[in-house]
Amino acid sequence: MENTEFKAGFVSIIGMPNAGKSTLYNSLMGDNLAITNPKAQTTRHRILGIKNLPGAQIIYSDTPGILKKTSYGMHEKMMHFVNESLDDSDVLILLLDVRATDIPDDIRARYDRSKAKKILALNKIDTVKQDQLEAVMQKITEDFQADVYMLVSALNNYNIENLEKTAADMLPQHPAYYPEDQITDRSERFFVNEIVRNNALKLYQDEVPYSLEVSTLLFKEEPKILRLNCEIIVERDSQKRIVIGNKGAAIKNLGIASRKDLEAFFQKQVYLELFVKVRDDWRNNKNMLRQFGYDPD
């Protein structure tokens, strides 16, 4: 007999850049599917994570941070992922940094119009004193309409289990959307790209990390080794020189750091080759954005 009490649905996490969305997503998933970095615009895509619980399947959605201004076609695509989450979620988690609780009026209006059940989670509560926390929470409850208000620390895993239980209870009765052994909608190549790009965010400064994209050209899995060739895309020759570095030192460091993370992720020895190519203004090029997975159509 079919279990009619089973629940399944989509739980999207939205918020401003650096609110801690990817950290919360990883904490909920129990795995580092989303890259995390102090730099803004770390998350560029919508990443689904599938979590199976007794009697429920939650499909978590990590989204890019909400941008007040979109300077490139890539930014517009990123904001499409955010709007998509606002439109199709069963449960919406608005994650706010306790020290920065403002969101743009247009996104605020979309949040208010969303028909999803809403959880407002105030994050990084360990960074402020108790009296400040109480004042912010009082203001939040006055400024935002939500079904549930919660205090969390994604980094320290505080109140995360309770957040997940609350979200699961809000889901509609529905059969599972995905097989029990599937944990994400993304390919292995996607995670290679993200791991290399995350290390680039850590190693390079100024505009280079934001002008950089990674594409995996070769993904060859052998019994004892995973062979990868990745192309690093930048917008100008000057950026290419920075990525490569003096006598190739910078790209060598990028390869070493990325290979270490890739071996931890895939639990296998990795052979990694990195190449750098210049593609002028790729962030405004529709064909290249589609190639890099930014076109949702």
Going by pLDDT thresholds of 50, 70 and 90, the confidence category of residue 65 is: low
281: left (phi over 0), alpha (psi -120 to 50) or beta: left
Specify the pairing of strand 117-123 against strand 91-97. Answer: parallel
Which of 170, 204, 239 finishes a domain? 170
- Domain membership of residue 241 as a residue range: 188-291
**pLDDT exceeding 90 applies to what percent of the chain?**
42
By 3-state DSSP, what share of the chain in percent is helix, strand and coil, each rounded to 5? 40, 25, 35
Per residue in 125-179, pLDDT (tens digit) is 999 899 899 999 998 898 889 999 999 998 899 999 999 999 999 999 999 999 9
Alpha-carbon distance 276 to 257, whole Å? 17
E-strand stretches of 175-292: 213-221, 226-234, 270-278
Per residue in 256-283, pLDDT (tens digit) is 999 999 999 899 999 999 999 998 888 8
Distance of CA 134 to the CA centre of its chain: 29
Alpha-carbon distance 179 to 181, whole Å? 6
Kindly give the interhelix angle for 249-266 and 237-244, rounded to the nearest 10 degrees. 70
Alpha-carbon distance 294 to 285, whole Å? 11
Q: Is residue 200 part of a domain?
A: yes
State the pTM of this model.
Answer: 0.74
Distances (CA, A) of 139 to 145, 149, 153, 168: 11, 12, 19, 27
Going by pLDDT thresholds of 50, 70 and 90, the confidence category of residue 185 is: confident
Average pLDDT of every residue of the chain: 84
Section 101-108 average pLDDT: 76
- Whichever domain contains 260, its CATH number is 3.30.300.20
- The closest of 191, 216, 165, 158 to 32, measured between CA atoms, is 191
Say how many domains are in the chain: 2
pLDDT at 27 over 80: yes
Same domain (yes/no): 147, 78: yes
Same domain (yes/no): 225, 265: yes
- Burial state string for 27-40 with b = 16 or more CB within 10 A and e = fewer than 16: bbbeebbbbbbeee
- Say if CB 175 and CB 3 are below 8 A apart: no
- Whichever domain contains 144, its CATH number is 3.40.50.300
pLDDT at 88 over 50: yes
Going by pLDDT thresholds of 50, 70 and 90, the confidence category of residue 2 is: very low
Same domain (yes/no): 39, 140: yes
